[in-house]
């Protein structure tokens, strides 16, 4: 059996499930945020700060950021292994995207939780 060292999950099936689950989380977060903006006539700093003062919103946002990390990680691995044949270029592309995804996740962690 071949092990997939570069994937986020343990196998192709696991990656498939992680992609679908992360996509569902991202759709739910997008729908929630769209509903918030459509139902709030004037989004001020106080309103925005009040929304993110709730613990459930912080958890939901971190869940969405984690979904972005998982989805992007698996997605860039799948796309680059399919379309970029040069191993060095593929490794560089994966490195750049991985560092970017981790930076986005860490930024969200620091902004939301004030770490």
Report the CATH number that the domain containing residue 79 is assigned in CATH: 1.20.1300.10
- Per the model's pLDDT, the better-predicted residue between 101 and 11 turns out to be 101
Q: Is residue 4 part of a domain?
A: no
Whether 7 is covered by a domain: the verdict is no
Give CA 1 to chain center in angstroms.
29
Domain region containing 58: 12-114
Instruction: Give the model's pLDDT for residue 114.
Output: 86
Write out pLDDT tens, residues 55-100. 999 999 999 999 999 999 999 999 999 999 999 999 999 999 999 9
d(CA 14, CA 10): 6
In a domain, 106, yes or no: yes
> Does the residue 2 lie in any domain?
no
Tell whether residue 14 is among the known ligand binding residues.
no
Instruction: Tell whether 76 is covered by a domain.
Output: yes
Domain membership of residue 24 (yes or no) is yes
Domain count, the chain: 1
pTM, full prediction:
0.85
> How many Å apart are CA 70 and CA 112, to the nearest integer?
19
Whole-Å CA distances, 93 to 40, 63, 78: 40, 25, 12
Asked if residue 83 belongs to a known ligand binding site, the reply is yes
Q: Can you read off the two tokens belonging to residue 1?
A: 């059996």
Question: Over the stretch 27-46, which tens digit does the pLDDT of each residue have?
Answer: 999 999 999 999 999 999 99
């Amino acid at each position: 059996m071949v092990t997939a060292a570069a994937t986020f999950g343990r196998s192709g099936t696991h990656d498939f499930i992680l992609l679908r689950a992360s996509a569902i989380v991202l759709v739910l977060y997008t729908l929630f945020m769209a509903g918030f903006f459509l139902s709030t006539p004037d989004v001020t700093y106080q309103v925005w700060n009040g929304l993110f003062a709730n613990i459930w919103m912080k958890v939901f946002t971190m869940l969405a950021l984690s979904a972005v990390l998982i989805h992007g990680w698996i997605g860039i691995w799948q796309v680059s292994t399919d379309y970029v044949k040069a191993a060095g270029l593929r490794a560089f592309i994966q490195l750049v995207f991985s560092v970017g995804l981790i930076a986005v996740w860490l930024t969200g962690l620091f902004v939301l939780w004030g770490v």
